[in-house]
Amino acid sequence: MFLHIISAQYVDRYKIKIKFNNNSEGIADLSTSLQGKVFEPLQDLAMFQKFTVDAELGTIVWENGADFAPEYFYFLAFRDVPELQDQFHKWGYLPSKVTVEV
């Protein structure tokens, strides 16, 4: 199943409450993610709050063309869930596991 965002609601500061197509709901905090030419304008809270869910793309988009993959929002919302750590490694959002042979 491909992960898509079906609804999103502004919470506070750089936090968005998101519902995914797998019925998971969580809050993604983008406060440390707004770096680079496209994302820096979103540090302006007034602009940040002007997002929409693009049904065709299945993710959140902003007026300036900025967007993140739905998987990235999922990672931000559920990064501390132990059962999801392997998936986050596969997606590349967590460092590769290092195994030490003795």
Mean pLDDT value of segment 44-57? 96
Q: What is the DSSP letter of 67?
A: B
Q: Whole-prediction pTM value?
A: 0.89
Q: Which residue, among 11, 25, 8, has the nearest Cα to 59 in the 3D structure?
A: 8
Domains and CATH numbers, the chain: 5-91 (3.30.2020.10)
pLDDT at 77 exceeding the cut of 80: yes
Calculate what percentage of the chain has a pLDDT beyond 70: 92
> Could you give phi then psi for residue 65, rounded to 5 degrees?
95, 0
Long-range contact list for 20-25, CB < 8 A, 24+ apart? 20/70, 20/74, 21/58, 24/74, 24/77, 24/78
pLDDT at 98 exceeding the cut of 70: no
